[in-house]
Amino acid sequence: MSSQTASTATDPAHPVIDFRDITRVYGKGEAQVFALAGITLTITQGEFVAIMGPSGSGKSTAMNVMGCLDRPSSGQYLFNGVEVADLTQDQRALLRRHYLGFIFQGYNLLPRTTALQNVELPLIYKGMSRDEREARALSALEKVGLGNRAHHDPSELSGGQQQRVAIARALAGQPSVILADEPTGNLDTTRSIEIMELLQSLNRDENLTIVMVTHEDDMAAFSDRLIWMVDGRIESDRPTGKGAA
């Protein structure tokens, strides 16, 4: 990423994520499907945005494009003012590594590896020293309330604790944006609320930009802004009125 990216990332008025008439098309001819059918939206630093919609609405495709895991068929995607289409594959990988944190429904933890080692894993690819990795990972685990579980394997942790480890792993890289795909999908109501309160506090206290795909109204209510998608289009985009409560 360029110096332009680094400078705009500190400007709270500058869009972090800027979609301009983004489409994503799969198939050809009669089999052609528009997963995204011309999406235009901006997300600025410090926002907590929930994306909802029925199955097949395009919400997960939109998140994959935001995370540079998929490429749009047409339109422009600017991340911190930089056109993502102009980046090489290696540069997109660096963008993901240094600016984005991912949280998945299935946790994606290595089973026979401690919580600390799971959180350290992405830091290895940043070339950090062992001591620096461990300090960064411990700090992230403490932020999510699991400093005392650092040396436990996932099998020794509850579902909610495993998701906290996954959040710590996303935080350890010190990203500017967290992309969360159904982060409470595998949790009961009590654990789901705990995870959402944690994400909400990270958003407020650390000015983290969070974009979350969810199908649960109760979880979306923790956000500041709700985008509702249908058939690859944005049907509504409004403040929730609850995120700042």
What fold, for 15-108+176-239?
Rossmann fold (3.40.50)
Find out whether 239 and 224 touch, Cβ atoms under 8 Å.
yes
Environment class of 10 (CB within 10 Å of its CB; exposed 0-12, middle 13-18, buried 19+): exposed
Task: Tell me the per-residue pLDDT of 61-117, one tens digit each, with 9 for 90 and over.
Answer: 999 999 999 999 999 999 999 999 999 999 999 999 899 999 988 888 999 899 999
In tens, the pLDDT along 162-171 reads: 999 999 999 9
pTM: 0.89
What is residue 105's predicted lDDT score, i.e. its pLDDT?
Answer: 84
How confident is the model over 122-126, as a mean pLDDT? 86
- Distance between CA 45 and CA 203 in Å, rounded? 10
Q: CA 7, 12, 15: angle at the middle one, nearest 5?
A: 80
CA 60, CA 42: separation in Å to the nearest integer?
Answer: 17
Distance CA 187, CA 192 (A): 6
Instruction: Give the pLDDT score at 25.
Output: 96
Residue 192 has pLDDT above 50, yes or no: yes
**Amino acid letter for position 13:** A
Q: How much is the pLDDT for 9? A: 45
Q: Report the 10 Å Cβ neighbour count for 171.
A: 23
Average confidence score pLDDT of the chain: 90
Residues 209-244 pLDDT 10s? 999 999 999 999 999 999 999 999 999 999 997 644
pLDDT in tens, 132-187: 999 999 999 999 999 999 999 999 999 999 999 999 999 999 999 999 999 998 88
Output phi, psi for 100, to 5 deg.
Answer: -120, 145
d(CA 219, CA 200): 11
What is the model's pLDDT at position 5?
44
**Domain locations in the chain?**
15-108+176-239
Q: Which amino acid is at 157?
A: L
Q: Supply φ then ψ for residue 209, to 5 degrees.
A: -80, 125
